[in-house]
Amino acid sequence: TSLLYEGTPEQITTIISGAGIRFGDNKGRYIVQAREKLMGEDAILSLPNLLVDDPKKARENVVDNIKGLGYKEASHFLRNIGYEGLAILDRHILRTLCEACVIDCYPSTIGKKTYMELEEKLGEYSQRLGIPLDALDMVMWSAKTGRVFK
């Protein structure tokens, strides 16, 4: 953990690339940039200001202010710290939505507009099934990967 607080981009890249994380070079730099924005001597952001009560607004704040985090990653981060109602739309979830005929096809790229539309469709599907969105995408992910997280 000390590398997160003090490591150089190169040191962090070595660790995360060794752990099999894709795009390690970029992520090492992004981690250091986020650390400097949030914790450095010249910090220009604070997590309490980014993490407002509304989950979707909090996600927008994270995406807009933390380089390297898109909607999926920001949703994942926020869900891990207690936010609800945000979909984590990875390839496993999208394939499952295609198979269930909730969406027409697996999108080749996902920008903000597409992510919001897909999240809305997943939300509608979760309501029809009577399963909270947060639980449904986790069940879909577990069914596709064979792994379960507590």
Residues labelled catalytic: 72, 90
| 16 touches 24 (CB < 8 A) | yes
Give the DSSP per-residue string, the chain.
-HHHHH--HHHHHHHHHHTT-TTHHHHHHHHHHHHHHHHSTT----HHHH--SSHHHHHHHHHHHSTT--HHHHHHHHHHTT--S-----HHHHHHHHHTTSSSS--S---HHHHHHHHHHHHHHHHHHT--HHHHHHHHHHHHHS----
Question: pLDDT 10s digit of each residue in the chain, 150 long?
Answer: 688 888 999 999 998 888 888 877 788 899 898 888 888 777 777 888 889 999 999 999 999 999 989 999 999 999 999 999 999 999 999 999 999 999 998 888 899 999 999 999 999 999 999 999 999 999 999 999 888 876
Structure tokens at 47: 């997590």
Residue with tokens 């985090």: 69
Domains in the chain: boundaries: 1-44, 91-145
Structure tokens at 131: 């399963």
End-to-end CA distance of the chain, in Å? 22
Of the candidates 93, 97, 88, 76, the one whose C-alpha atom is nearest the C-alpha of residue 141 is: 93
The predicted-structure confidence for 31-72, as pLDDT tens digits, reads as follows 898 888 888 777 777 888 889 999 999 999 999 999 989 999
For the entire predicted model, the pTM comes to: 0.83
| 87 touches 93 (CB < 8 A) | yes
